[in-house]
Amino acid sequence: MKLVLLVEDEPWLAEVYEQHFLAANFTVLRAGDAQEAIEILDAKKPHVIVLDMMLPNGNGVQLLHEMQSYVDLKDIPVIIYSSVANRLPKTLRAYGVTAILDKTTTRPRVLVERAEELLAA
């Protein structure tokens, strides 16, 4: 079973992404901020993480930093799905980021296809 962690603070968007991942036979975990994501990662290891960058109580970069500190988390592929995608530095790839998608122009279906491609590679 493919397991995805969605880190998105806007609940209506998170729900939409969840529907798309469920339709593609993923099991879905959801976190509304970086702290909640860390708590989930303490208990479960998803195959891929979808990460919004602008989160309450911190941001996506802080979560990426935190993940790099742990051997069992640092290699989990991360797809950044953010409305500030075009302003993010390419150097984020050093933090396990495998794709950066602009959520204002990329449909959730494409996000799921990208996640499937990553897992198939």
Partner 1 sequence: MSKVSEQQKSDFSSEEALLAAAHELKTPLTIISHLVSTLRDDSIGLSQLQQECYLERIELTSERMMRLVEGLTQSYRFEQAGEVLHQLELEPLNLTQICEDVVHELTPLASHLGQNVQLQLPLKNRLVVGHKELLQNIITNLVDNALKHNPKDTDVILTMNSQDQLSRLNVRDNGPMIAAAEFKQLKQRLGKQVQPTAYRAGSSGLGLYIAGQLAKAMGGNLGATAHRQGGMTLYVDLLRSRQLSFL
d(CA 5, CA 88): 21
Taking CB under 8 A as the binding criterion, the range among 71-79, 88-96, 104-112, 113-121 that sits at the site for partner 1 is 104-112
CB of 53 to partner 1, least distance (A): 9
- Is residue 111 within 8 A of residue 99, CB to CB? The reply is no
Asked if 66 touches partner 1 (CB under 8 A), the answer is no
d(CA 57, CA 74): 21
Kindly tell me which of 54 and 94 has the beta carbon lying closer to partner 1. 54
Asked if 30 touches partner 1 (CB under 8 A), the answer is no
Q: How big is the CA angle at 87 (ends 119 and 14), to the nearest 5 degrees?
A: 50
- Work out which of 56, 65, 93, 94 binds partner 1, going by CB under 8 A: 56
Helix (H) or strand (E) holding 51: strand 48-51
d(CA 101, CA 52): 10
Taking CB under 8 A as the binding criterion, the range among 37-45, 48-56, 63-71, 88-96 that sits at the site for partner 1 is 48-56
Taking CB under 8 A as the binding criterion, the range among 41-49, 66-74, 86-94, 100-108 that sits at the site for partner 1 is 100-108
d(CA 35, CA 33): 6
Q: Which residues contact partner 1 (rule: CB under 8 A)?
A: 9-13, 16, 19-20, 23, 54-57, 59, 83, 103-104, 107-109
